[in-house]
Amino acid sequence: MSKRTVLTGAKVVLPGGVREDTALTVEDRRIVPGAPGEGDNTLDLTGHWIVPGFVDMHVHGGGGASFSAGTHDEAMTAIATHRLHGTTTMVASTVTGDLDDLSRQAGALSELAEQGELAGVHFEGPFISCERRGAHEPSLLRDPDPADVRKLLDAARGTAKMMTLAPERPGGLESVRLLADNGVIAAVGHTDGTYEDTHEAIEAGATVATHLFNAMPPLGHRAPGPVAALLEDERITVELINDGAHLHPAVVELAFHRAGAARVAFITDAMGAAGVGDGRYPLGGLEVDVRDGVARLVEGGSIAGSTLTLDQAFRRAVTVDRLPVGDVVSALSANPARLLGVDSEVGSLEPGKYADLVVLDGEFMLRGVMRRGEWVVAPQGA
């Protein structure tokens, strides 16, 4: 008979709300019903919070490594780095490259998805707007020809979860339909499209806004642009990078107020500097300088992803943005898990699901991470 671990004393964030009078029991990698019993490994976490493991659906790297390298070792370095910060489920995001190189990367990353290390692959580019390209190599951008889209999906061998594209480009709407028909999230992002363009993309099957507000025209009172279309439509989940550099707290509040907590997904959009520090790093074929935690292209100075980890996003959301803990948990765990189609296994603390959880202290600092019932970061006393 396997030994059970029982976590007691903490505030536990469950789908129905916060409970202070419940124990969380872990056995055989999963959460199971039951109170502490004789022989159990019981850990008193009084004064702490237990929340579901974080789910990052948009992350490019970390720990000095990049998913775009397309190698096992670099990918595992990035995965391990973010797990130390509470991200127990993640999708590997690529950046713009030529189709053959992206196909090679997708093939390598798909192996890690098949092994359960990743939840899938996200293609960000090359089918994006040159005017709103951000940290993507302009010479490699191209129209979203459905045949090219299909090539990348095939290279990912069924592990493609999302593709970000600019729907106003020729072939954009056809590609959105192709993605939707194949069960892949079509995300509107890095777009210079209009309100009307974005509405057409939503009707064609787009369901996600890639890092809303960033790399798209700003909200205007005569030309509302993509922001208004994405915020107003109940079918869209909006990604937000809550690092203090990409978005003002008032804008984060606006997104939650207009979309509602069930339609927000916090992401990192992290590049290799996440979990490491300032310095110079590659991002795709471009060079990035990181100073004071903000990543910018060496050429041009555009913001180039982030150095964010999701434990930082959680703490900022609660202490700076003053969002309710339950809403933050939805944005960090339940909502992205549902979008990725993995919510039967992760995203909330319920019996039968994997024991993926994060322990936070009273100041919302990370003190423990459990993935699949094993401590990645063991809290004091464990």
Q: In what order do the strands lie in the sheet with 11-14?
A: 17-19, 11-14, 49-52, 357-360, 366-371, 374-377
CB-CB contact of 349 with 329 (8 Å): no
CATH code of the domain in which 365 resides: 2.30.40.10
Residue 128 maps to a domain: yes
Active site residue 269: yes
pLDDT for 103 equals: 98
pLDDT for 1 equals: 42
User: Which of 349, 327, 347 lies closest to 337 in space, CA to CA?
Assistant: 347
Angle at 140 between CA 292 and CA 191, to 5 degrees: 70
> Both 287 and 173 in a single domain?
yes
CA dist., res. 236 & res. 355, Å (int) = 29
pLDDT for 5 equals: 94
> Both 25 and 68 in a single domain?
no
Q: Which two tokens stand for residue 191?
A: 């777009």
pLDDT for 134 equals: 85
CA dist., res. 9 & res. 289, Å (int) = 44
| Residue among 197, 269, 321, 343 flagged as catalytic | 269
Q: How many domains does the chain have?
A: 2
> Both 22 and 64 in a single domain?
no
Residue 116 maps to a domain: yes
CB-CB contact of 380 with 367 (8 Å): yes
CA dist., res. 169 & res. 137, Å (int) = 17
pLDDT for 36 equals: 74
**340-379 pLDDT, tens per residue?**
999 999 999 999 999 999 999 999 999 999 999 999 999 9
> Both 135 and 282 in a single domain?
yes
> Both 85 and 213 in a single domain?
yes
Residue 311 maps to a domain: yes
Residue 28 maps to a domain: yes
Phi, psi of 209 (to 5 degrees): -105, 115
> Both 190 and 207 in a single domain?
yes
Q: In this structure, how many other beta carbons lie within 10 angstroms of the beta carbon of residue 153?
A: 21
CB-CB contact of 68 with 272 (8 Å): no
> Both 295 and 327 in a single domain?
yes
pLDDT for 2 equals: 66
CATH code of the domain in which 129 resides: 3.20.20.140
Residue 198 maps to a domain: yes
CA dist., res. 266 & res. 213, Å (int) = 13
Angle between helices 72-83 and 99-114 (to 10 degrees): 60
Residue 382 maps to a domain: no
> Both 161 and 216 in a single domain?
yes
Domain that holds residue 131: 54-340
Residue 98 maps to a domain: yes
Task: Give Cβ neighbours of residue 300 (< 8 Å, ≥ 6 apart).
Answer: none
> Both 191 and 210 in a single domain?
yes
> Both 32 and 142 in a single domain?
no
Angle at 104 between CA 126 and CA 156, to 5 degrees: 80
> Both 29 and 66 in a single domain?
no
Residue 235 maps to a domain: yes
**34-58 pLDDT, tens per residue?**
777 777 899 999 999 999 999 999 9
Angle between helices 225-232 and 249-259 (to 10 degrees): 40
CA dist., res. 266 & res. 240, Å (int) = 5
> Both 41 and 58 in a single domain?
no
CA dist., res. 40 & res. 29, Å (int) = 15
Tell me the whole-structure pTM to 2 decimals.
0.96
pLDDT lower than 50: segments of the chain: 1
